[in-house]
Chain A
Amino acid sequence: MTPALQISDLTISLGGNEILSGVDATIAEGEFIGIFGPNGAGKTTLVRALVGTLPPTRGWIKILGRSPRHAARQIGYMPQGHTGFDATALSARTLVEAACHGDRWGIPWTSRSSKREVDRVLEMTDAASYAARPFSVLSGGERQRVMLAQALLGDPRILILDEPLASLDPKNQALLIECVARVKRLTRTTILFVAHDMNPLLRVMDRVLYLAGGRAALGRLDDVVTSASLSKLYGFEIEVVRVENRVFVISAEGNVAESECAHHDHD
């Protein structure tokens, strides 16, 4: 069977800085992968390469055996943040409709089959009840479920979610994760879930892709998120502490490299 995702020697330089250097990974279909790493580790850079908007400097990516550009229709993508929507009075549903076959020519007419498709994805993420309201008045959790719905348009075989938990409170984080887990149960989609903190995902993910210092480690949580493996990746001493089924990544100096607090900034 073709793997859902193959990355070989992926190297990406931006403005002379090597953000990712020689990343290798193979991910099977139907896996739930959590992608973690400190700020600036290249998580979003990796995502942009996966969806084909950032060409690799070296190496290659194959999604379902094809280049990201050619596999675009198989990819459901939820970008990080959503700038520029606060001012629009467009309803959440209209935004999803605009994305449905948005790459076609012609006027933005929503056909009956597209309407059914939009209904389907909105119901899948429990967003149908408020989709008629303007996007700008929705809460953070509601917005993310709309964005998730839109990533599900066209039944993609891979879902790439870039920091969907950012700036959500723990209750809404749990709701969204439950939503993603349900989508996975229903559709058997491969899921790449980028997050700052791994704790909310411990129960749902199959494997971990940990990025640090431009390199990546892929494997089961117990193999990758260990003091020895992360120290090697970061290039300095890292301690992994487990407290009551929670994981904390701490640098040897005592600074928390990653904790369950999601109070980070994002661009």
Chain B
Amino acid sequence: MISTLTNYLGYEFVRNALAAGTLAAILGAIVGYFVIVRNAGFAAHALAHIGFAGAAGAALLGLSTLEGMLLLTLGSSLVMGAAGDKLQRRDLAIGMVLSMSLGLGVLFLKLYSTYAGQAKSILFGDIFGVSTGQLEQMLVLSLLSLAALAVFSRRLLFASTQPRLAEARGLSLPGLSMAFMSPRESPCVSAAPSGGASASPSCWASPRFGLAFCSIASPAIPPHFGSPRSSSSST
């Protein structure tokens, strides 16, 4: 049993997969907490699919797919954040953007390649295809997101739980919402690394993968996070 494991760890792609999964799990757990508190699960889901369109579009244009993904998700998260907190209207808008970006992604793929495996690898990804270079990109993105969160998470928690009170204290709700959306897109993106442009097109860990981590990790966070019983260990 042990020797099988050490055998597996002898392969670079296994080690990379393990590291990539761990990174996504850590980031997903922390960002997922705020996703749940802000009731923004649907938006988080949509971002991954928007990333799919971005990656497919970038591949079509011959650009780095990671950059395409980052650009499009960052852009759309800023727009989502700016759109404000009216939940129902927001859900409607997210639904429309979600289906449009899925459609765009499929269109780009169709134009890019007739190879059907392409769609599958972009949509579902392959965690065993993560290269060391991609792992580094993931690490940088994750650290950037965590650093950003560390700067304003206190304000974010306040604005998420007591929007009107926070507003009265002079916090900008749309500003925080936008600020949060930017680190939030990075778990989706960093969990979906793509290597040197279209050179290794089949090595996408799935956007769904990052999302799965967001949604699996969030309920596991103690509900009394920050209360005296758990604060000694969790904060």
Binding site for B on A (CB under 8 A): 51-53, 69, 72, 75, 77, 79, 84-85, 87-91, 93-95, 97-99, 101-110, 115, 132, 134, 150
Question: Is B196 an interface position by the 8 A CB rule?
Answer: no
Q: In the complex, what distance in Å separates the CA atom of A77 from the CA atom of B154?
A: 19
Q: Chain A's interface: helix, strand, loop or mixed, by majority?
A: loop
Can you name the residue of chain B whose Cβ is closest to the Cβ of A80?
Answer: B164
Binding site for A on B (CB under 8 A): 36-37, 39, 87, 149-155, 157-159, 161-171, 223-229, 231, 235
Chain A residues positioned under 8 Å from B37 (CB to CB): 88, 90
Report yes or no: B225 in contact with A94, Cβ–Cβ below 8 A.
yes
Q: In the complex, what distance in Å separates the CA atom of A53 from the CA atom of B229?
A: 35
Report yes or no: B235 in contact with A108, Cβ–Cβ below 8 A.
yes
Q: Chain B's interface: helix, strand, loop or mixed, by majority?
A: helix
**Most-contacted residue by chain A among B167, B227, B231 (CB, 10 A):** B227
Q: Quote the shortest CB–CB distance from B40 to chain A (angstroms).
A: 11
Report yes or no: A53 in contact with B226, Cβ–Cβ below 8 A.
no
Q: Quote the shortest CB–CB distance from B143 to chain A (angstroms).
A: 15
Report yes or no: B154 in contact with A107, Cβ–Cβ below 8 A.
yes
Report yes or no: A105 in contact with B151, Cβ–Cβ below 8 A.
yes
Report yes or no: B224 in contact with A94, Cβ–Cβ below 8 A.
yes
**Most-contacted residue by chain B among A52, A72, A99, A150 (CB, 10 A):** A99
Given A102-B158, A105-B154, are A115 and B228 neighbors across the interface (CB < 8 Å)?
A: yes
Q: In the complex, what distance in Å separates the CA atom of A218 from the CA atom of B164?
A: 27
Chain A residues positioned under 8 Å from B152 (CB to CB): 105
Chain B residues positioned under 8 Å from A84 (CB to CB): 39, 87, 163
Report yes or no: B154 in contact with A52, Cβ–Cβ below 8 A.
no
Report yes or no: A103 in contact with B150, Cβ–Cβ below 8 A.
no
Chain B residues positioned under 8 Å from A51 (CB to CB): 168
Q: In the complex, what distance in Å separates the CA atom of A101 from the CA atom of B166?
A: 10
The 8 Å CB contact of B227, one of A69, A75, A79, A91, is A91
The 8 Å CB contact of A99, one of B150, B162, B225, is B162
The 8 Å CB contact of B157, one of A72, A108, A132, is A108
